[in-house]
Structure 1
Amino acid sequence: MPKKMIVLLKAGAFLAFGSSAALAASCGNTGSGFAAWKQEFAREAAAAGVGDRGLQALSSAQYADRTIAADRNQKSFNYSLEKFMQVRGADTIVAQGRKRLARDPDFYRSLEAAYGVPAGVLIAIHGMETAFGSFMGDSNVVSAITTLAYDCRRSDFFTPHALAALMMVDRGSMAAGAIGARHGELGHTQFLPGNALRYGVDGDGNGVVDLTREADALASTANYLRAKGWQPGRGYQKGEPNYSAIQEWNAAGVYQQAIAIMAQRIDG
């Protein structure tokens, strides 16, 4: 693990804009108003510091029907823990995770030394999110995240992430055509753009933060958990001090419990 961890472009300005300002762009529940919304949002993005490349990416964004369908059909919140772990292949993640840890123990030790997060937690998240990088999504990130910012259901939550995505394109840290998950997450552990901008670090020391590279994604995941209050050496099962950091990663209770259980099995 390189000693130099380069933190990605600071996101304080855009987060302040997204959280404190009353955004004027009108939300909608169908794609019919998306084009008009993009024009309104472009003015707000420019005011937040987004330049020509980011604005062009916004102009080219398409209303993402598959994103809306996925957002309205989330089943995980309704599963029992046993069903969730079965559906998500927990036993396979644990078995493969143990092999990954045995294959590169120094890498995971270096992450724990730097951030305090043990290997099992990072490996469980990696396995759960993308099956260890085997599937990182099939949707254009900018289209997906701007669609969610436009959609009335959770516009306030996704608007700062949409601004972050445009900033990343504008500054060259993400391509306008970058592919991620249906909700605009990207990389091995599926960071939303705002989190990528704020918590992304260069884990392999090549001077670039690229969450499609495994080392960068895992270092960034550890950095995120530390920022959310992870306490080195403390427990992470439900009711223990670090469980609250796992809760910050995903809102579904069954997901949180599954990560903690699988991590413990991987750590042995």
Structure 2
Amino acid sequence: MRFVLAAAFIALAAPALAAPCGNDASGFGAWKQAFAQEAAAAGVGSAGLQALANAQYSQSTINADRNQTGVRYELNEFIRIRLGSLDSFANQMQRERNKNPNFYASLESAYGVPAGILLAIHGMETGFGRTMGNTPVVDSISTVAYDCRRSDFFTPHAIAALMLVDQGGLGANQRGAAHGEMGHTQFLPGNALRYGVDADGNGRVDLYSVTDSLASTANFLRQKGWQPGASFQEGSANFRVLNEWNAATVYQQAIALSAARLQ
């Protein structure tokens, strides 16, 4: 998922931007040195700081950021491009659920979010985990935190990514999407830190684990106001919660319509 389709971010308090932003790679090294002081003051430990020290400026991230066009498709065209068709996508969702139906039932019991919603998000974000991105998360999120266009937005997420490295929930070189979106459902790091769930009980939140990722997605939606057992079609309160996940109306519509096809 690209930035225009990214999971909704949390309102983390950004530190004062002492580290000087820039618009090309030339100042990235100096920015990292200054940002390391901010990160340490925010509580980032040695593993996270080492990951920052090793971070590389991601030109591919900047290229993707500069070339964004937004979502301008009509719903039918969006479904054709992203899903193929609602029926074929629903069949994929059904196959995924059949692998572990008790897991999806347990998520609905715990969070009130039905399997169809979670499977639709999983499939639309990463093709059920097949394409989670090719850019190291620390590189990409550090690059956009350094870039002057949206430093205030991405700086808290960069700090969160370093904290996740400290906690063992993110490898220093683990790969994600172009703007630092990570895991099976493409959480931004700040959202992973706040809403992440250790569903498999191994002592860490790992969004590259489908168990933790889907539980975290369900938790995110519930915390944003999801009402168990209520409608999620357009015009409902639950449909409005989908806006917290993704601001594109056609994306929200595709999630709701796909989820309704799951039997």
Q: TM-score, normalised by structure 2?
A: 0.90
- After superposition, give the CA deviation of every residue in 1:44-70 in whole Å (9 maximum; x if it has no partner): 111111122211111111111111111
SS in 2 for 1:190: coil
Instruction: Tell whether the 8 Å contact from 1:66 to 1:182 is kept in structure 2 after alignment.
Output: yes
Residue 234 of structure 1 aligns with which residue?
A: 230
- Of 91, 104, 121, the match for 2:117: 121
Map residues 71-110 of structure 1 onto 2, 5 A cutoff. Answer: 71-91=65-85, 92-110=88-106
Alignment of 1:55 with 2:49, yes or no, is yes
- The number of equivalent residue pairs is 252
**Long gaps (5+) in structure 1:** 1-11
Instruction: Tell whether the 8 Å contact from 1:93 to 1:128 is kept in structure 2 after alignment.
Output: no
- After superposition, give the CA deviation of every residue in 1:174-215 in whole Å (9 maximum; x if it has no partner): 211111111111111111111111111122233332111111
Cα offset, 1:112, TM superposition: 0.5
Cα offset, 1:134, TM superposition: 1.0
Residue 204 of structure 1 aligns with which residue?
A: 200
Map residues 4-83 of structure 1 onto 2, 5 A cutoff. Answer: 15-16=12-13, 18=14, 21-83=15-77
Identity of aligned residues (%): 62
**Long gaps (5+) in structure 2:** 1-9
SS in 2 for 1:78: coil
Whole-Å separation in 2 of the counterparts to 1:121 and 1:263: 5
Whole-Å separation in 2 of the counterparts to 1:215 and 1:73: 33
Whole-Å separation in 2 of the counterparts to 1:246 and 1:78: 18
SS in 2 for 1:77: coil
Residue 155 of structure 1 aligns with which residue?
A: 151
Whole-Å separation in 2 of the counterparts to 1:90 and 1:220: 27
Amino acid in structure 1 at the alignment position of 2:73: Y
Cα offset, 1:76, TM superposition: 4.5
Map residues 134-213 of structure 1 onto 2, 5 A cutoff. Answer: 134-213=130-209
Aligned-residue CA RMSD (Å)? 1.8
SS in 2 for 1:242: helix
Cα offset, 1:171, TM superposition: 2.8
Map residues 243-262 of structure 1 onto 2, 5 A cutoff. Answer: 243-262=239-258
